[in-house]
Amino acid sequence: MGILDGKKGIIFGVANDKSIAWAIAKALSAEGMELAFTYAGEAFESRVKPLAETLGAKMVLPCDVTKDDQIAAVFEKIKNEWGALDGLVHSLAFAKKEELKGEFLNTSRDGFALALDVSAFSLVALAKGAAPLMEANGGSIITLTYYGSEKVVANYNVMGVAKAALETSAKYLAADLGPKNIRVNAISAGPVKTLAAMGITGFKAILDVVEAKAPLKRNVSLDDVAKTALYLMSGLSSGVTGEVIHVDAGFSIVGI
C-alpha cells in the first residue's frame, strides 16, 4: 500500500539519473503513483526513455516548453489515455551559459526573455494544460526554485530573476486554481550537482559555502528534495498551497 496508490502524475524535467525530477519520480512511483514523462528535444529521448521504463511508464512524450503545440499534444495524450490527472512536477529551467557568469547588468534582451519563458512562463502554460484534467478530483502542481530569487547569488543572475517570477507565478496560480482544489507549491532546493547546476559558474564554491554555513552543516541530497515533493504530492499536504518550502539544510535562515 502506497500513499499515492491509484494516482496519476506527469513529470517534466528529467534529463538524466542525476536530475531532481528523476529523484522525485522515483519517490512518487515508490508510493504507487503511475507516471508519464516528457523530454526536451530528441537529444534527451534516448536518456529519458530507458529511465522512465524502469518505473513502468507507458507515456514518454516530447515537450519543449517553448512550443505551445507540444504542450497541447502532451495534455491531449494524457486526456485520451488517462482521462484525468492528479499531479504535475515542473522541474526545468534554462538560461544561456553566457548569462550565468559575470555581471547581471550585461543580461541581453533575448537572454532575459528566453530564461523567463522557459523557467517561469512554462509553469503557467503547463498549469493551464493540466487544470482541466485535475478539476474533477483536485490535484497538486509542484515546481522547483532556488534561493537566488530572494538574495543575490554570484553568477546566478537572470536565473534569479526568473525564479522570482516563477515563485510569484506559483502563488497567483494557487489563488486561481484553489477553488478547484488544485494546489500549487514550490520547493526551494539547496544546491545539488546536476546538469543544470554545472552550467552556473562557480557552482562548487556555492556547495562549500552551504556546507560551512547551513544549520545542518551539509548540503541537501536528491532524496531530501524528493521526500518534500512526495509530501506536497500527497494528501499529507492537503491544506498547503501557494507555499515556497525551503529544502536547503536551513541555509536560507542564516543571517550573520
Which residues form the interface with ligand NAD (CB under 6 A)? 13-15, 19-21, 40, 44, 63-66, 91-94, 118, 144-146, 189, 191-192, 194-197
Alpha helices of 2-41 — where are they, by DSSP H? 20-30
Q: Are 127 and 180 in contact (CB under 8 A)?
A: no
Active site residue 156: yes
Closer to ligand NAD by CB, 19 or 107: give it.
19
Minimum Å distance from CB 197 to ligand NAD?
4
Closer to ligand NAD by CB, 43 or 256: give it.
43
Q: Classify residue 47 by its DSSP letter.
A: H
Minimum Å distance from CB 53 to ligand NAD?
17
62 phi, psi to nearest 5 deg: -70, 135
Closer to ligand NAD by CB, 139 or 148: give it.
148
Closer to ligand NAD by CB, 141 or 189: give it.
189
CA distances from 227 to 24, 26, 73, 108, 242 (A): 7, 10, 30, 37, 18
- Among 241, 230, 124, 133, which Cα is nearest to 178's? 241
Euclidean distance between CA atoms 166 and 179, whole angstroms: 21
Active site residue 172: no
Minimum Å distance from CB 136 to ligand NAD?
27
Please tell me which residue in 39, 147, 156, 231 is annotated as part of the active site. Answer: 156
Please tell me which residue in 146, 147, 172, 231 is annotated as part of the active site. Answer: 146
CA–chain centroid gap for 203, Å, is 19
184 phi, psi to nearest 5 deg: -130, 120
Minimum Å distance from CB 240 to ligand NAD?
19
What are the catalytic residues? Answer: 146, 156
